[in-house]
Amino acid sequence: MRTVGVEEELLLVDARTGVPAPVAEQVLAADADADDRIVAEFLAEMIEMRTRPHTDAGDLAAELCALRAEIGVRAGALGTAAAALSTSPLPATGTVMPVARFARIAAEFGVLAREHLTCGRHVHVEVADEDEGAAVLDRTRIWLPTLLALTAGSPFRGGEDTGYASFRWHLMARWPISGPPVVVGSGEGYRRWVDDLLGTGVVLDEGMVYLDARLSSHLPTVEVRVADVCPDVRVTVLLALLVRALVETAAGQWHQDRRVRGGRAGVAAAPDTTHLRLATWRASRHGLTGELVDPATGSPAPASRVVADLVDHVRPALVDSGDVALVEDAVRRLLGEGGEAQRQREVYRRSARLSEVVSDAVRRTLVVPV
C-alpha cells in the first residue's frame, strides 16, 4: 500500500484576543529534542507540522493529533494558541522569519510576501518515480477543485467576510506560478517544464512553484497542495485517504494504458489549464454549498453529486485499502454540515465576534476524534 503523509500549517494567535502572534521562533526554541516534524514557515505567525509516512488511517490521525497537541502546549506556555485556520479572521500583518531564503523572497516580492499569512495543507503520496508521478498529476488534476471544495475553510480575512469559501486559494493565486498544473506527459516533460520556469528568473527556486499539485522536489511523492487547513482532524484524514486513492487509481490507469498501447499512454479529454482554473475558482467561491464544475461534462453540477462521483471514481482503491466506510461516513458528515466555511460563518452569526471564530477553531484544533 502506498504511504501517505501530511504537512499542516497552523496559525499562531494570542490566546486572549485571537490576533496572530509572531511567536514561531519561541515555539521552535521550546523543542528540546529538535524534532524535525515541527518546523518554521515563511512568517512568524505560522508553524508547520509534518507527519511521517503512514499506510494506516488511524496511525496518521494519531500522529496529527499528537503534533497538534505538542504545538498547543508550546504555544500555550507563551500565552498563545494554535489554530488550524487558513487565513486570519482578524486584521494582521505578517512578520518574515529570519531565514535567508525567506528574506530574499520578501525583498523580491514586496507586499505580496508580507501579506502571505495563509496556512495550507499538503498531502504527500508515494510514487515509484517521476514518470509515474507525472502520469498521476496528469490524471488527477481534474479532481483538485473538488478537493478544495471539500476542505474550503477560509471565508474570513482581515476583519471581513470575503464572500468566498476559500479565500486562501486566491491569495496563493497571486504568486507567479500557482493554480492548476499543466499536462506534462512524463517525468522528463515535468522536469523540463519546471526548468523552463526557473530559467525566466521570476521565481527564485523550485520551492516557489506553488501549484495546486506538483512533484515534490525532495521526496519521492506527488504533493497535493490545493486544500485549506481545517480544525477537524477527521477532514485532514479524509483528504489524505482521497488523495492516496486518486494516486492509486491514476497510477493504475497509466500502467494499464501502457500495456494496452504498447508502452505509450495519453490522457483523454484533459481540460486545459484555463478551464481547470475556472473550476477551482468556483470551488473556492462556494465550497460545498453551491454548484461545482462537473469534471466529466465541464458544466455546473451540485457539489454533492460531484463529490459522490469522486468517491465512486476511487472506490476500488478505497476498497483495497480498507478505507471506503471511513471515507463515506466522513463525506456524508461534511455534506450534511456544509463544510468548514459554513461552520465558521455560523459561529460568527451566533456570536457577532470574529474573535469567537478564532476561539472555536483553537478548541477544535486540539479535539481528538473518538
Q: Give me the CATH number covering residue 308.
A: 3.30.590.20
* Whole-number Å distance between alpha carbons of 142 and 122: 17
Q: In which domain, by residue range, is 210 found?
A: 4-365
Q: What does R_g of the chain's alpha carbons equal in angstroms? A: 20
**98 assigned to some structural domain:** yes
Q: What average pLDDT score do residues 179-207 get? A: 94
Q: Which residues contact 203 (CB under 8 A, 6 or more apart)?
A: 176, 177, 197, 209
Q: Tell me: the pLDDT tens digits for 89-129?
A: 999 989 999 999 999 999 999 999 988 999 999 999 999 99
Burial class (CB in 10 A: 0-12, 13-18, 19+), 236: buried
How many distinct structural domains can be found in the chain?
1
Say which range, 84-93, 218-227, 257-266, 303-312, has the weakest mean pLDDT: 257-266
* Cell triple for 170: 486566491
**258 assigned to some structural domain:** yes
Q: What dihedral do alpha carbons 327, 330, 333, 335 form, nearest 10°?
A: -60
* Whole-prediction pTM: 0.96
**370 assigned to some structural domain:** no
